[in-house]
Structure 1
């Protein structure tokens, strides 16, 4: 017997016993002291009203017992009959034989239930049967099966492996980043990136960026970036800033592969290096990921994995659950195509203020002179 089952049964028994102590005390007082005190008819009606209240309360206890075990359900059902006897007693219409029979049955079931609970607790197993519940509560595993898509825990290696496998198979998954939740697809699967457009109802003319785990991964691909661009990137990565740079064959060395034509525009590509351990580990497993915010186009960003599941779970293949996001808006997008001319452009102001981005650029530019 699990500790959870024991605590549930103990709670249900405690609820029943506390109510029944009051019932027995009330009935005993009425049964043996009522005649001596010569209670009025109005007083009898008061006890009758109390009996009816106990009947209603016990009906709820019967429902709770139906989710516990048959012995508890049988006891609460007998108590419902006993409470009917109490009501008849207040109206002076209770047959003496019925009273004796019901009290005897309640005594027997109480004795058995007490012994069974005590022995089962001592031996930590069901030595004496209490019977299965009439109704079964849904377990967590059953609830998770009802989710619209598979979910994984970001704090478990098995969770990361599960999502990585789904991405490798061409699936689209919701993942956490250092800003808001994103939809991700492997850059090895152009069809998966196409799915993102359909899932989000995203306009075809809006490009999708790529996410990598570190600047070093970018250095290894040997893109022909100027020293100024490299220095700027090293100052803004990792973090909530995305840089638009010139596209080129170096993306194949980075691992973009067959998805070259499905990410960015014809001449440019936006690169994210999130300051998020989970996302970076995932990118190390899968290679570059094509990502975009995990929300239907035109709607607010998703700031918790439950939002991704509720809004897009029926359309995607999995969600990596990481709780609340670190930000409530997406990254700030910086156009670096003219950076060698001393110019950057803020395409979208996100979690990093435009003024701060400009300060970083001015400082970097100053050191390069």
Structure 2
């Protein structure tokens, strides 16, 4: 998709003096945005499978097309009317991508990525010529068009090389084409969790957002206005994507940082967009920014485990929040704009170092491992060793734990409403971005990540609270409800209060910290309720937000400490009410969390001793018994009131456990059986002496029909793990469970 976008810009630049324009601004913008979306999708799909250089280049080009495309749409719709407006809108993005593409080009030359380096240098030089063209109206756009034409030609060469490689059945490979290698792809998948390819694009879009305010500080632009919102909006959405993909790479700290930075970019974009509605500058709430600086500071301390360079980089963002808080007009003051210049330089250096170190043998020193080695020699501290705490012991999840970011967003959203707003113009105080993005969007993202990890209750809490902020944040602080107050306005928030009350009850069975978090959130809901009926006491918001923010900050700090250190630990507390099960003594029916290794061991022990259990499987819950326990198998039949015995199946955990069948089956049929079972298919096998190898004895009478029995391998890690534990603990020939679907 880089080829058509570059070709469009080349044609547009060559015909810039033509009246009317060969390609109208609106059409050019729509096409660029379309190609940018497709290129971003391709870049994110290639992460962890292609080289980091290709991923970074693809996503950077997509980000550039997004910004230019949206600005061209604004020109076509009459939002940007003068040449000065177009100059102020384009200059920050061109200054940023001049640096970003130059970094990619340098790394490409050093790491033999010649085609990518050539295209990156061409785009960087076109951005330089574009800056010169907008600064001096006497300069033409031919140089810009020429560089984009170079990108088009190189892209055509790469497309031709791929096509020739494919149609020649991998016999003809043109030089420098970086053709796909199936073996390399699989090896890349094997190390995927160890590498985070999208960090570089996150740093490059940080350069873009810092450039918007840094250009104002150094005099490259004359004003901050709505024409620069596309760059900030693009940066915010890209950093949100980097946050999600960092969880996919099991990089929890990096995901938290880019979640924080995306919140900042949305707020900066909102502040510039507000000036499109009103001429005055919006006011930034001081308590929120102070708390945000503290969160950046705490996260920087834990980033020391990765590298000292990351610590210094995050401290710049803490300083930026402090600089914005020092003056009511926030980002429009020169102090915060000066810090933006420092962030621009630091982001460029970090992008260069991280992109180069991903593939280089001799790496650029970033202070990696210094603090980690220091902590290993300190008695009170012990870092986590061995298995990653974000990887589940049983079950499977493609994402790291997102609870740290979820609790941090609760802190931000709570302190955002500490400062009062003018009821005549609630949008004049920058509150909406903190509520909608931090309290809403990011909490829903954390809830979905928690759901993928099997944390149903935690995900329900995050998602409910996220929707509450998204719906009622704009209603109260966006002026949607207007002056109307009363019970009719409050009905919706009453529903949220009831739903949160149900979650408070269920957190009694989870932990003390989660119970307090849900319980104190009722104070926030009550605040919205009192405001809806126009009965909010003075000072209530301050007290409520301090309580909720303190509890959420404790949960945030506990998540960071417990995921980083084995000692010390910050306790979350056990469940207030414990489910011990029904019955007494040996007849107690236990309730155990399925995703804990200790629980699966207890279940395996019960089955080994002739018990009956109900466990999760790939198609619901199933009633199970060890197949060498005839009494237990009979209990399965009688407990579920089976209409027919054929409903009872035998499940095994892997193909090697069916070796007793091999002597009874011909070669090709055995391969068919293996293929069918490997994809969780069901096989009906005639009963015979091979059942004796599983030590069934009298239990065989209850298995399947009179002449055959159903075999299957469940597609559920928990079920197969239980089967393996039962077989390993018994240390006998049989390795199977009889399973009844419930």
TM-score (norm: length of structure 1): 0.42
Compare CA radii of gyration and give the structure with the larger one.
Answer: 1
More helix by share: 2
Higher relative contact order (CA 8 A, sep 6+): 1
TM-score (norm: length of structure 2): 0.24
